[in-house]
Structure 1
């Protein structure tokens, strides 16, 4: 929605629906009507990765490749507590910047740490 052309949704998308059991895609209308999966009659759910579920491997490998090639990695608005995504900033050879309202809890070494409201910090960056 922000205009980025190359977006890999590591945690999938709340804007799509799938069957909990068969993983088959379903429509948002079916989900809103509380319909069951047309393939196996199981419940429909938003197509997001929940805590304890595995990340999509194709997306994960694309992320790792992009991180390894990156010259600059911005880590914005996260506590960096959830494995394995919290490992991504350490996989780059590029510079790393961490921006968050509370930076006191993270232990990952960054080249630059900026504490503040994300919108305000980003608006100050000259383009």
Structure 2
């Protein structure tokens, strides 16, 4: 970040697109995945279970982990950052699986890594899905869905993308379309090292967009990758952007959030 950089979107920015990662949801208690305090470091056995090659043996652990995350997201709800993005009316590309952008009111959301709030069929050719009712436990039934697909009889699973699985083509296609049409591309709370999401900001820049990273602890080297790097709390700066753009003073009554 350049000294004194206090970037704020201006009238020239008519197509704002956000790419979000686990940092925007951390205040809910969901935490992050990478780094010394991330889930993969604290629970290496969980990371191992996220390999697609471990299916179906890993299903109990997957239901336990992703069911817990879905429950935390449901119980805590969106953060001020999620709500500000929704009030801006900006489309979102997210690496998160918590459904909090939709809960905040965002209408266009590309879920690159799927959703812990849905169950899917493990069968290769079956497209059955069902919303979950997050609970506790290692069985699909603990989360309000059948353990076997009612269409084909295959086991059911959380509808999240595991290691070595392809991203959902429709969501990836939407993400690339949004990146190419953005005139302001804002990355919030993600390390930006996971492909193909890591290519989206450069793609937006190549199509003329201003690129901004908002992260309270920006990754090393990020200052060379973005036009602006804001080492600030997204839950403070995004509501401020929304108030400035909509010319609203004070703190929005939609912002309250415990903790």
TM bin, normalised by shorter chain, reads 0.7 to 0.9
Aligned equivalent of 1:83: 195
TM-score by length of 1: 0.84
Structure 2 regions of 5+ residues with no counterpart? Answer: 1-102, 134-138, 246-259
Tell me, yes or no, if structure 1 residue 111 matches structure 2 residue 220. no
Aligned residue number for residue 122 of structure 2: 20
* Root-mean-square deviation over aligned CA pairs: 2.2
The more displaced of 52-61 and 28-37 is 28-37
Instruction: List structure 1 runs of 4+ shifted beyond 4 angstroms.
Output: none
Question: Which residue of 10, 16, 32 maps to 2:141?
Answer: 32
Q: Which has the higher contact order (CA 8 A, sep 6+)?
A: 2
Kindly state the Cα deviation for residue 86 of structure 1 after the two structures are TM-superposed. 0.9
**Where does the alignment leave 5 or more consecutive residues of structure 1 unmatched?**
none
Greater helix proportion: 2
Deviation at 1:61, TM superposition (A): 1.4
Per-residue Cα deviation, 1:14-57 (whole angstroms, up to 9, x for no partner):
22110122442245369334622223433211212123211111
| Structure with the higher fraction of residues in strand conformation | 1
Q: Give the C-alpha shift of residue 9 in structure 1.
A: 2.1
Q: Which moved more, 1:26-35 or 1:65-74?
A: 26-35
Deviations 1:46-105 (A, max 9, x none): 212123211111221121111111110110000112111111000012101000111142
> What TM-score, normalized by structure 2, do the two folds share?
0.44
Offset of residue 111 of structure 1 = 0.8
Shift in CA distance, 43/122, structure 1 to aligned 2, threshold 3 Å: same
Q: Which residue of 2 aligns with 1:43?
A: 155
Deviations 1:99-122 (A, max 9, x none): 011114244611100002221222
Matches within 5 A, 1:83-102: 83-92=195-204, 93-102=208-217
Distance 1:104 1:25 in 2: 36
